[in-house]
Amino acid sequence: EVWNPNGKYRVVSTKSMPGTRWINLLIEQDCRLEICTEKKTILSVEDIIALIGDKCDGVIGQLTEDWGETLFAALSKAGGKAFSNMAVGYNNVDVNAANKYGVAVGNTPGVLTETTAELAASLSLAAARRIVEADEFMRAGLYDGWLPHLFVGNLLKGQTVGVIGAGRIGSAYARMMVEGFKMNLIYFDLYQSTRLEKFVTAYGQFLKANGEQPVTWKRASSMSEVLQEADVISLHPVLDKTTYHLINKESLATMKKEAILINCSRGPVVDEVALVEHLKQNPMFRVGLDVFEDEPYMKPGLGEMKNAIVVPHIASASKWTREGMATLAALNVLGKIKGYPVWHDPNR
């Protein structure tokens, strides 16, 4: 699909993206925009090289693509100056290779913070109250009357929510769980989140002033402290060498038998094979997963586990957010082409 065929700058988007604002931004700024209409979901390096062609000023790409040495070399050869991932995460992008070939890299933070945190909160609730299992039971026609033991789950109020990685998304999630469900907070992050701490302190004081049990917070000195103490644990670190398989057989064994684990970050943060085994051995342990080690696949056995809720990487999938991500990605590419700073540059 081609927009503004006579535009001076050739920009390629490897996927169609929601909304029209990003399209308008590019064509108003003299870009010829080519949107790939290829039906297959994941484009190979060869597919993208063909899209880049001989002349290309910038590319908007997706987290499913492998933006390494080969693609940045091809983009640079075609005169390309900018690449933006339509994602906040950029573990699929080799930033060093981009630097080497003089291609600026952008990502799309900010607009997906609340949307992603909301999905983590939804999964936490769904797991605690066994909503998916109960829905399947109902649809299967198995409900034959109210029973005291039917789908008994956990009350979140007064329990402890554990957050690993209290950046933008982790902090937004923590606030939702503390304020929405009156949970106590324990978090681990390499940086101190003073805003989060001030918020929980102030909220605790508000509850106390209203005669309610105040919530508490604690900044853990290690990740294992969070794993041992929290009832619901949500993972929000970036994926890199240090966070690969952060959750593994050993760390799972330290968690409470009835804990809930949520992952809306990146699949490889969790050793999925170890997780399946843990779910089998501990039927009261529950997980809510938005991401998987080898997307789009799940490790064998995971799909059969009643104590797992699995959704297809939809944490940022609200209309407002996806349109915002597309707009930021366009601004990133446009900025570099036009000589302004890249809007969001993970290098900075």
Binding residues (CB under 6 A) for ligand DGY: these are 63, 87-89, 112, 316
- Residue environment code for 271-303, b if the CB has 16+ CB neighbours within 10 A, otherwise e: bbbbbbebbeebeebbbbbbbbbeeeebbeebe
Q: Are strands 184-188 and 260-263 parallel, antiparallel or unpaired?
A: unpaired
DSSP string, 119-142: HHHHHHHHHHTTHHHHHHHHHTT-
Residue closer to ligand DGY by CB (options 87, 174) is: 87
Sequence letter at residue 252: L
Residue closer to ligand DGY by CB (options 4, 171) is: 171
The reply to whether 28 belongs to the active site is: no
User: 69, 277, 295, 323: which one is catalytic?
Assistant: 295
Residue closer to ligand DGY by CB (options 112, 233) is: 112
User: 266, 278, 286, 322: which one is catalytic?
Assistant: 266
At closest approach, how far in Å is the CB of 112 from ligand DGY?
5
In sequence order, the 6+-apart residues with CB closer than 8 A to the CB of 207 are 182, 213, 214, 215
At closest approach, how far in Å is the CB of 135 from ligand DGY?
25
Angle between helices 168-181 and 113-128 (to 10 degrees): 50
User: 130, 236, 278, 313: which one is catalytic?
Assistant: 313
Q: How far is CA 238 from CA 70, 190, 345, in A?
A: 24, 12, 16
Residues 149, 125 contacting (CB under 8 angstroms): no
**What are the structure tokens assigned to 317, written together?**
């999938």
Residue closer to ligand DGY by CB (options 7, 89) is: 89
At closest approach, how far in Å is the CB of 202 from ligand DGY?
30
The reply to whether 266 belongs to the active site is: yes
The reply to whether 313 belongs to the active site is: yes
Residues that are catalytic = 266, 295, 313
